[in-house]
């Protein structure tokens, strides 16, 4: 049987519609590609008899699986490598205690910032916005030396109020 005699169908609104080979291939090529990669990664367990039902939307398919399982002992560089995935997971991760301590410090800092006078609050806001003393002085209509004095005074007050949490 030659390709000229072969019939090609694609589903349209639940009905199979006859199309040319070009349209058939254009419709199914992305589906075949998705299925190939899903099978390669262990995500598709579709039997050969069921392949004609594949629409390329794997997560809703009854043959969909979670995919490759990776162990924490999996070598990163290959079978001969001593470095495993588990060796990289804990490096630099903050402890739960340090996360709680940072949260308490941040909450205390916000509380102290609320107690500042309006000029002190404004200076802190502008510092957090990344402005230099010169820019802060211009924004507040003051001399830079005045802003420098007020900034040192505010930061010293915050340091003193938070020293029990910070140390």
Tens of pLDDT, residues 75-100: 666 556 677 766 666 556 777 788 88
Let me know if residue 143 belongs to a domain. yes
- The tally of domains found in the chain comes to 2
144 or 50: whose pLDDT is higher? 144
Let me know if residue 88 belongs to a domain. no
**Domain carrying residue 39:** 8-71
How many alpha carbons fall within 13 Å on the CB side of residue 25?
3
Give the integer Cα–Cα distance in Å for 63 and 58.
Answer: 8
- What is this structure's pTM? 0.43
Lowest average pLDDT, out of 27-31, 60-64, 161-165, goes to 60-64
Residue 69 banded pLDDT, cuts 50, 70, 90: low
Q: Look at residues 56, 71, 86 and tell me which one is the last residue of a structural domain.
A: 71
């Amino acid at each position: 049987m030659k390709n000229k005699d072969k019939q090609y169908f694609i589903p349209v609104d639940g009905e199979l519609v006859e199309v040319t080979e070009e349209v058939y291939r254009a419709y199914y090529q992305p589906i075949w590609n998705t299925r190939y990669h899903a099978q390669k990664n262990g995500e598709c367990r579709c039997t050969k008899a069921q392949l004609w039902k594949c629409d390329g939307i794997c997560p809703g398919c009854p043959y969909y699986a979670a995919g490759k399982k990776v162990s924490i002992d999996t070598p990163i560089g290959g079978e001969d490598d001593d470095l495993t995935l588990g060796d990289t997971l804990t490096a630099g991760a903050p402890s739960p205690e340090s996360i709680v301590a940072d949260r308490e410090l941040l909450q205390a800092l916000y509380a102290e910032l609320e107690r500042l006078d309006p000029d002190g609050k404004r200076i802190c806001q502008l510092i957090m916005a990344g402005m230099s003393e010169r820019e802060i002085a211009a924004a507040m209509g003051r001399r830079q030396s005045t802003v420098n004095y007020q900034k040192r005074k505010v930061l010293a007050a915050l340091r003193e109020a938070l020293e029990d949490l910070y140390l």
